Structure 1
C-alpha cells in the first residue's frame, strides 16, 4: 500500500470536511489509511446523493450499486479499485461493522427523497444515521467500544453535523432544495424559506440561529470528554476535531450583518485548534 493512494483518498474526502481535519499526517500510517477509506466512502455516497442534475431515481440506483459494492467489500471481495481495496483492508483489520456504512447510505438515500424536516426529532434521527456512524467507525479503529465513550462520540458527531447545517443554510436551499432546520422552530421564530433563500438577516433570523447555536454548543460540549479518554495520537486527532468545531461555532456566534456567510477556519485557526488539543505538559 503506498501513501499516494492514501493521499488520493484524503484529497477526495477533504472537499467535504474542509473545516475539520480528516486524517492528519501525525497519525500512524495504518490508522490514517483506514480513516481515509472511511471518509472517502462517505464522500462518494454524499456526492451521489447531491448530484442534482441527475434524476432522483438514478441517484437512488447509484446508491444501491454502492451498497452492492459495500456488501462485496465487507465479504472480502471488493471491486478491483484502490478505494474499495483500501476499505476492505480497513474492514478486515479493525472489524468495522457493515451496519454503520449502511446507516450512512440510508441517510444519503433520504437526502434524495426528503427535503424538509417537520421537527427536531426528524433532524436528530437524520444525524444519527448521517454523522454518528462515522464516529462509531473511528471508535472501532481506535479499538474503543465503551458505551459511555460511544455516547460522547455520538454527541460530537451530531454537533459537527449541526455545524454543517448552520454554516450551509443558504447553499443547501438554493443548490439542493434542502432545509435541515426544524420547520416548527422556524415558524415559532417567524422565519420563512424566503429568509434563507434571500439571505435576510433580521431579528427573527438572529433569534432562530442563536437558538440553534446554543443547542449545538451544548451537544458538542457534552461530547468533549471523549478527547480526554482516547489515548495517543488518535486522541489528539479527536481533540483537534472538537477544538475545530468550537472555533467554527465561535465564528457562527459572532454578530454579523450576514448570518448566512459561511465561516472558514484559517491556517491560524487550525494551528490554534491543534495547540489547544495537545495534552498538557508534565
Structure 2
C-alpha cells in the first residue's frame, strides 16, 4: 500500500514535467529510476512555484500563493508536511538523498522577484536573479546527480542553472514583453548596444538587437563551457543525462540563430529529430 502511494505520488510529479518541459524530461529520463523521479519531484515543486506567480493575474494573489507555498515548505522542514502528492514525493527524495532545503527557499525568493518585477540594471543583476530562479534548481539537483562530490560542485551547478536561465530569457524575449510586460535584458546592456524599449515595441530585429542578443548568448555559452569542465566529477550514471540537458538547452541558442534571431514573434524549440541527434 505504501509503495503504491509512493508510485502514485512520483507519477504525479512525472506528469507535471512531461506536460511543461519536454526537453528537460527528455534529458533526465536517462537517469536511473530513483534519481529520475527525484528530479521530477524537484521540477514539480519549481513548476508549482512558477505557476503560482504566472497564473495569478493579481499581485496580491501572487504574493499570497508564494506565501502559502513558503508556509508549506516551513511545515515540510519540520516534518509536518501537507498530505499532498508533491510533499510526499519530496519527503521520499529527502529521505533518500543528502538534500539541502535552502535552495528551495531561494527558488521562492526568485519567484517573488518576478512579482515585484523591474528590469535588471546590469548583467550582474541578471545573473543574480538567474541564480534565484534557476541556479537554485542546480543546487537542489546536486545531491542527486553528484552524491559523493556535491559539496565541491556547487559553483558548477549554479553556472549551469544561470546559463539555462539566460537561454530561457533569450528564447522568450517577445513572450515576456508582449504578454507579461517584462524585459529581462539588462538596462545597461540595452543602452550600450542601442536597443531601446521602443524598438522592442516595434518587434524590430536589427543589428543592435542581434549584437545585444549575442552578447548575452556568448555569456551563457561561457557558463555552459565552465560547467562542462567539471562534468567528470559528477556521478557516472548522471554524466550523460546532465550533459544532455546542457546540450539541449544550449542548442536552443543555435535554433534562434537559424531563425534569424526571431525570438520576438516565433516560439523557438529544439525539434524531436534534433533531440535524437543530440542524444547520439
Q: Shift in Å at residue 19 of structure 1? A: 3.4
For 1:250 and 1:228, locate their aligned partners in 2 and report how far apart those are by CA, in whole Å: 25
Q: Hey, what does 2:208 align to over in structure 1?
A: 204
Structure 1 residue 50 corresponds to structure 2 residue 54: yes
Match for residue 255 of structure 2 among 247, 251, 257:
251
SS of structure 2 residue aligned to 1:95: coil
Match for residue 66 of structure 1 among 47, 69, 74:
69
Q: Where does 1:96-135 land on structure 2 (aligned, <5 Å)?
A: 96-135=99-138
Q: Shift in Å at residue 153 of structure 1? A: 1.5
SS of structure 2 residue aligned to 1:9: helix
State the Cα deviation string for residues 229-259 of structure 1 (Å, max 9, x = none): 3233322210111111232122223361734
Counterpart contact for 2:9–2:88, Cα < 8 Å: no
Q: Hey, what does 2:81 align to over in structure 1?
A: 78
The higher-RCO structure (CA 8 Å, 6+ apart) is 2
Q: Identify unmatched segments of 5+ residues in structure 1.
A: 276-282
Q: Where does 1:131-142 land on structure 2 (aligned, <5 Å)?
A: 131-142=134-145
SS of structure 1 residue aligned to 2:153: helix
State the Cα deviation string for residues 168-195 of structure 1 (Å, max 9, x = none): 0010111111111101111111112233
Distance 1:268-1:101 versus aligned 2 partners, 3 A rule: same
Counterpart contact for 2:149–2:234, Cα < 8 Å: no
SS of structure 2 residue aligned to 1:19: helix
State the Cα deviation string for residues 204-232 of structure 1 (Å, max 9, x = none): 11111121111111111111123333233
For 2:271 and 2:197, locate their aligned partners in 1 and report how far apart those are by CA, in whole Å: 31
Q: Shift in Å at residue 14 of structure 1? A: 4.1
Counterpart contact for 1:13–1:22, Cα < 8 Å: no
Counterpart contact for 1:190–1:204, Cα < 8 Å: yes
Q: Hey, what does 1:270 align to over in structure 2?
A: 275
Q: Shift in Å at residue 141 of structure 1? A: 1.5
SS of structure 2 residue aligned to 1:21: helix
For 2:98 and 2:233, locate their aligned partners in 1 and report how far apart those are by CA, in whole Å: 21
SS of structure 2 residue aligned to 1:72: helix
Q: Identify unmatched segments of 5+ residues in structure 2.
A: none
Structure 1 residue 7 corresponds to structure 2 residue 11: yes
Please identify, of 167-176 and 257-266, the stretch whose mean Cα deviation from structure 2 is larger.
257-266
SS of structure 2 residue aligned to 1:258: coil
For 1:193 and 1:14, locate their aligned partners in 2 and report how far apart those are by CA, in whole Å: 35
Q: Shift in Å at residue 23 of structure 1? A: 6.7
Alignment RMSD, CA only?
2.0
SS of structure 1 residue aligned to 2:88: helix
Output the TM-score relative to the length of structure 1.
0.89
Distance 1:193-1:90 versus aligned 2 partners, 3 A rule: same
